[in-house]
């Protein structure tokens, strides 16, 4: 099993906010992802430039690919970057981590995601896609897809209908297992009919958090939502923060608690790292329960730091604990 991810290649600009005033001023919902244009990107940079900012490679599936590589598993990634300093920074970070990059490059500004982190650890994104918005299905080579068994797609690509459906259709024709992360509740709500069509026609495994699951299904409770998602796909994974996660496969419903309860410093990439842990379990033919435990393990560590990166020492610790989970008797 080897996994190819596709998503918006972004550089994250992390800003820790003292309160929620800026979110209200911008009229954005806390915890949401909002696409912005160049003018708003410039204005927002002016508002946060005096804050303590941190820059890191980002993009949902990009984070998953990088984390999977840090666990010691191979991972590939398709994205599009501009020929600028942000693009160079992005390429260097993922190359140094050992991710197999299949990047498309063009002149212009690379995508940036301004992640505004409120005191409760919740992150709200204002994303300028830049070059990422110009990625086309015709730019993705069939020969790249043929190197992999699984395709992991981020829901943020739903903004580009032709791209996301085109690559899913091609991957399906090649026999790849297709996995989709629903990305953000407001993204799902804004294009629910199209996303439902994609899931029904192409997707084998869905990852969703509680809000995304409710937005996707229209159900009143998370318990109803996961059963509804499972009607569409082989495996439904629903993450519910400190309440753990649920996995539905056929008639089997599994609940896995969080690795340990901890107050999050920053929830950026929590779902991305959960997916990496889950995939690491799949690569090792682990049970769905162990896959979810590995996902919870990675989420536990990433929510304790600002941003999407962990130290080499922390990764060494995670790898040891991951192997214990894999080797534990069921």
Average pLDDT on 189-216 reads: 96
Token output for 187: 């993204």
* Rounded Cα gap, residues 78 and 158, in angstroms: 15
Is the pTM higher than 0.85? yes
Residue 30 forms part of a structural domain: no
Buried b (16+ CB within 10 A) or exposed e, 230-247: bebbebbbbbbeeebbbb
* CATH at 196: 3.40.1190.20
Average pLDDT on 258-283 reads: 94
Residue 121's pLDDT is what? 86
Average pLDDT on 204-216 reads: 96
Residue 330's pLDDT is what? 67
* Rounded Cα gap, residues 74 and 186, in angstroms: 32
Residue 118 forms part of a structural domain: no
Burial of 330 (0-12, 13-18, 19+ CB in 10 A): exposed
Report whether pLDDT(268) > 90.
Answer: no
Token output for 297: 């393990």
Q: How many domains in the chain?
A: 1
Residue 287 forms part of a structural domain: yes
User: Domain limits at 199?
Assistant: 3-10+58-111+130-327
Report whether pLDDT(177) > 80.
Answer: yes
Q: Kindly report, residue by residue over 21-78, the tens digit of the pLDDT.
A: 999 999 999 988 898 998 998 999 899 988 888 888 888 999 999 999 999 999 999 9
* Rounded Cα gap, residues 268 and 276, in angstroms: 14
Residue 274 forms part of a structural domain: yes
Residue 49 forms part of a structural domain: no
* Rounded Cα gap, residues 126 and 40, in angstroms: 9
């Amino acid at each position: 099993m080897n996994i190819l991810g596709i998503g918006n290649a972004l550089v994250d600009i992390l800003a820790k906010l003292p309160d929620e005033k800026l979110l209200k001023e911008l009229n954005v919902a806390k915890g949401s992802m909002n696409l912005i244009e160049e003018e708003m990107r410039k204005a927002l940079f002016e508002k946060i430039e005096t804050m303590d900012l941190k820059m890191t490679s980002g993009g949902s599936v990009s984070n998953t690919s990088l984390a999977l590589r840090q666990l010691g598993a191979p991972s590939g990634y398709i994205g599009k970057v501009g020929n600028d300093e942000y693009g160079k920074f992005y390429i260097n970070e993922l190359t140094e981590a050992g991710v197999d990059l299949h990047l498309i490059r063009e002149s212009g500004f690379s995508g940036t995601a301004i992640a505004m982190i409120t005191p409760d650890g919740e992150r709200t994104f204002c994303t300028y896609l830049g070059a990422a918005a110009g990625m086309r299905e015709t730019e993705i080579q069939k020969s790249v897809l043929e190197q992999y068994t699984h395709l992991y797609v981020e829901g943020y690509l739903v903004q580009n209908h032709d791209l996301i459906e085109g690559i899913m259709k091609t991957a399906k024709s090649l026999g790849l297992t297709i996995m989709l992360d629903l990305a953000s509740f407001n993204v799902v709500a804004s294009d629910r009919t199209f996303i439902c069509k994609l899931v029904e026609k192409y997707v084998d495994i869905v990852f969703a958090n509680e809000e995304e699951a409710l937005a996707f299904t229209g159900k009143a409770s998370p318990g109803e939502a996961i059963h509804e998602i499972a009607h569409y796909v082989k495996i439904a994974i629903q993450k519910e923060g400190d309440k753990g996660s649920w996995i539905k496969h056929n008639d089997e419903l599994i609940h896995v608690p969080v690795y340990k309860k901890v107050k999050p410093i920053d929830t950026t990439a929590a779902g991305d790292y959960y997916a990496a842990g889950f995939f690491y379990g799949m690569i090792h033919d682990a049970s769905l329960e162990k896959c979810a435990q590995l996902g919870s393990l990675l989420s536990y560590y990433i929510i304790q730091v600002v941003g999407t990166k962990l130290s080499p020492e922390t990764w060494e610790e995670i790898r040891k604990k991951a192997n214990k989970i894999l080797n534990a008797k069921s």
